[in-house]
């Protein structure tokens, strides 16, 4: 999501007369787009800001700005704590960046003049802005279809940093996807905090376009354009969406379905609004509609009051679902959330780490076993580029979003090729062109 936001920021700045550059040495202004979801994400940004101080020592005119969720969360406190930061700008205020930059730039050298814009919006979707594709491979791109979240999971800061949920006009989404396809892109990922609650409403309030309908329209652009999406909240994953996915071969067979915990007691405390039984029913529906679909997840270890039994329930759920990939985190208390206000952060850090490591070890084993079953199968792969390890090999992804590495042969990035899997690691399938 932040990556997609940076591309919107790039477009706004270009339109405002600024040039984008790729190295620190060329830059007069460094804008850091930030995440506030866990403390370690914030600490990395703090570290980077302090590193940049050295460069500012060499070049007094160099300015630093902080964008995104951390700017929203900390606002002027951030500038008070990091005195080399001249600008903070929250995720709904990016249109004001050219003006803010101007303000800071024209401040006399060494002055304390700074600029901040952190107002949240109920309507901003940046839907008229064609993002600049930063560091793009020219093959796959993100399209943000909605902003904000109001699910208020007890641990999560996003509703506070990204504001109310709002969806973008479906026509602008389709137009952006078509324009990408016409320029040679072959894969788009539709992004939202909870894409299943995408809703474009006109006039009196009846729902005109929901997420399944939007997917249907984007997938209809061309069978050669792959469509992915993230993220699905399990409470809203409908059969209707699965039906639309099954009807289009170019909608990728991959669903990211964050579970967070395998214990009903924890799910209730987390305010996730589903039970383990509901979640497993959704997994079963995915397998029924899309037998070859991969499923990935997010999980949190050591949330408030998590017992050994709750933790074991998470491990059990992992054994049952057998995810293809998981993003696994230790619980990190975020100020302002329901959990920070009402629930104790009472699992010792060492214990959180132990539980997290158990989940990681189990998931690593499952991913390897899943991948071993792929040996001998053939997939249509969208070739993306050279493998990091060897120029002689290319890599791409199959519909399930698994990375395949194979000998280059006559394959060309940006095209589809059939690849047979003949070996694997836990993270990668190794194969050959068919
Ligand atoms: N601590 C740890 N993980 C968190 N996530 C969100 N908030 C927190 C938190 N306070 C995780 C969830 C979510 C993913 C994007 O980040 O698993 O799905
Ligand atoms: Fe955070 Fe929950 Fe919204 Fe996801 S659905 S962004 S975890 S509040």
Residue 98 in contact with residue 16, Cβ under 8 Å? Answer: yes
Q: pLDDT digits over 398-427, tens only?
A: 999 999 999 999 999 999 999 999 999 999
CB 118 within 8 A of CB 90: yes
Whether residues 44 and 172 share a domain: the answer is: no
Atom of ligand 1 nearest to the CA of 156: 7
Tell me how far apart the alpha carbons of residues 290 and 103 are, in angstroms, rounded to a whole number: 53
pLDDT tens digits, one per residue of 369-400: 999 999 999 999 999 999 988 999 999 999 99
Where does ligand 1 bind, in terms of residues with CB under 6 Å?
37-38, 155-156, 258, 260, 298, 300, 329, 331-332, 334
Asked if the structure places residue 251 within a domain, the reply is: yes
Contacts of 404 (CB under 8 A, 6+ apart): 379, 381, 395, 396, 397, 398, 419, 421, 428, 429, 430, 431
158 CB-side CA count, 13 A: 17
Query: Does 124 fall in a domain?
Result: no
Query: What does each C-alpha distance from 107 to 17, 65, 89, 104, 357 come to in angstroms?
Result: 19, 14, 18, 5, 50
Ligand of minimum distance to the alpha carbon of 340: 1
For residue 206, is pLDDT > 80? no
As a whole number, mean pLDDT of residues 46-71 equals 95
Q: Is residue 125 part of a domain?
A: no
How far, in Å, is the centroid of ligand 1 from the Cα of 258? Answer: 10
25 assigned to some structural domain: yes
Distance from the alpha carbon of residue 303 to the mean position of ligand 1, in angstroms: 10
Both structure tokens of 385: 């580029």
Residues 190 and 279 in one domain: yes
Cα-based distances in Å from 153 to 93, 285, 348, 356: 24, 24, 22, 20
The contacts of residue 47 (CB under 8 Å, 6+ apart) are none
Whether 86 and 215 share a structural domain: no
Residues 232 and 354 both lie in one domain = yes
| Paired strand residues for 146 | 167
- Structure pTM? 0.95
Same domain, 95 and 175: no
If asked whether residues 392 and 289 sit together in one domain, one would say no
* pLDDT more than 90, % of the chain: 93
Measured distance CA(123)–CA(100) in Å, rounded: 21
Measured from the alpha carbon of residue 37, the closest ligand is 1
Could you tell me if 194 and 329 lie in one domain?
Answer: yes
**Ligand 2 close to Cβ of residue 193 (< 6 A):** yes
Same domain, 353 and 390: no
Q: Are residues 238 and 152 in the same domain?
A: yes
Does some domain include residue 367?
Answer: yes
**182 and 272 fall within a common domain:** yes
Query: Which ligand does the CA of 336 lie closest to?
Result: 1
Please report whether residue 162 resides in a domain: yes
CATH number at residue 82: 3.40.50.12160
Residues 222 and 344 in one domain: yes
Residue that terminates a domain, selected from 55, 86, 117: 117
What pLDDT, in 10s, does the model give residues 119-169? 999 999 999 999 999 988 999 999 999 999 999 999 999 999 999 999 999
Q: What average pLDDT score do residues 294-322 get?
A: 98
From the alpha carbon of 260, which atom of ligand 1 is closest?
17
First vs last C-alpha separation in the chain: 35
Contact status, residue 115 vs residue 104, Cβ threshold 8 Å? yes
Q: Which atom of ligand 2 is nearest to the CA of 162?
A: 6
Model confidence at 204: pLDDT above 90: no
User: Does 230 have pLDDT greater than 60?
Assistant: yes
Q: Please give the distance, rounded to the nearest whole angstrom, from the Cα atom of residue 271 to the centre of ligand 2.
A: 10
Phi, psi of 80 (to 5 degrees): -70, -40
- At residue 378, the pLDDT reads 98
Domain stop point among 328, 357, 372 = 372
Distance in angstroms (rounded) separating the CA atoms of residues 202 and 146: 16
Does residue 106 carry a pLDDT above 80?
A: no
Q: Which protein residue's CA is at the shortest distance from atom 6 of ligand 1?
A: 156
Nearest CA to ligand 2 atom 2: 153
Atom of ligand 1 nearest to the CA of 231: 18
Work out the pLDDT band at 187, boundaries 50, 70, 90: very high
Give the count of beta carbons closer than 10 Å to the beta carbon of residue 205.
7
Per-residue pLDDT, 111: 57
Domain harbouring 284, CATH code? 3.80.30.20
CATH code assigned at 395: 2.40.50.140
Ligand at minimal distance from the CA of 234 is 2
Could you identify the atom of ligand 2 that is nearest to the CA of residue 152? Answer: 8
Q: Is the CB of 196 under 6 A from ligand 2?
A: no
129 in any annotated domain: no
Domain of residue 418, residue span = 378-433
Per-residue pLDDT of 20-42, as tens digits, reads 998 999 999 999 999 999 999 99
**Domain-located, residue 275:** yes
**Phi, psi of 417, rounded to the nearest 5 degrees:** -135, 150
What spacing in Å lies between the alpha carbon of 382 and ligand 2's midpoint? 31
CA 337: distance to chain centroid?
21
Cα(1) to ligand 2 centroid in Å equals 13
pLDDT in the model for residue 203: 77
CB atoms within 10 A of CB 83: 10
For residue 20, CA distances in Å to 27, 75, 100, 114 come to: 8, 25, 16, 21
Domain count, the chain: 3
* pLDDT at res. 205: 77
Q: Residue-wise over 46-81: b if at least 16 C-beta within 10 A, else e?
A: eeebeebeeeeeeeeebbbbbbbbbbbbbeeebbee
| Residue 135: predicted pLDDT | 83
33 and 146 share one domain: no
């Amino acid at each position: 999501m932040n990556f997609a936001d940076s591309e919107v920021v790039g477009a706004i700045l270009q339109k405002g007369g600024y040039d984008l550059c790729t190295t620190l040495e060329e830059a007069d202004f460094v804008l850091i787009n930030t995440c506030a979801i866990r403390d370690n994400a914030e600490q990395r940004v703090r570290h980077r800001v302090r590193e940049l101080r050295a460069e500012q020592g060499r070049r007094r005119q160099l300015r630093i700005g902080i964008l995104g969720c951390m700017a929203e969360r900390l606002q002027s406190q951030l500038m008070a704590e990091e005195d080399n930061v001249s600008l903070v700008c929250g995720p709904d205020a990016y249109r004001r960046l050219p003006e803010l930059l101007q303000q800071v730039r024209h401040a006399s050298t060494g002055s304390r003049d700074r600029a901040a814009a952190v107002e949240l919006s109920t309507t901003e979707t940046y839907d008229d802005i064609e993002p600049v594709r930063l560091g793009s491979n020219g093959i796959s791109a993100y399209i943000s279809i909605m902003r904000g979240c109001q699910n208020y999971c007890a641990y999560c800061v996003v509703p506070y940093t990204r504001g109310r949920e709002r969806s973008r006009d479906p026509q602008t989404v389709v137009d952006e996807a078509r324009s990408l396809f016409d320029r040679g892109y072959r894969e788009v990922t539709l992004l939202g905090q909870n894409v299943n609650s995408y809703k474009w409403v006109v006039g009196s309030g009846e729902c005109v376009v929901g997420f399944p309908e939007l997917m249907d329209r984007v997938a209809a652009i061309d069978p050669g354009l792959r469509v992915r999406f993230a993220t699905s909240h399990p409470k809203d994953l409908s059969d209707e969406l699965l039906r639309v996915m099954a009807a289009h071969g170019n909608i990728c067979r991959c669903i990211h379905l964050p579970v967070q915990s395998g214990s009903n007691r924890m799910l209730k405390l987390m305010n996730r609004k589903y039970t383990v039984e509901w979640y497993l029913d959704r997994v079963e529906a995915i397998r029924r509609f899309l037998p070859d679909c991969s499923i990935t997840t997010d999980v949190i270890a050591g949330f408030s009051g998590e017992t050994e039994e709750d933790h074991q329930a998470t491990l059990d759920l992992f054994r049952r679902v057998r995810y293809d990939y998981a993003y696994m985190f230790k619980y990190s208390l975020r100020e302002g959330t329901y959990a920070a206000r009402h629930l104790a952060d009472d699992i010792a850090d060492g214990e959180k780490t132990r539980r997290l490591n158990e989940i990681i070890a189990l998931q690593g084993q499952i991913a390897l076993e899943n991948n071993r079953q792929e040996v001998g199968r053939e997939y249509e792969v969208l070739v993306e580029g050279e493998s990091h390890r060897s120029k002689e090999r290319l890599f791409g992804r199959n519909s399930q979003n698994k990375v395949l590495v194979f000998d280059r042969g006559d394959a060309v990035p940006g095209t589809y090729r059939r690849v047979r899997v003949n070996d694997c690691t836990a993270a990668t399938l190794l194969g050959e062109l068919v």
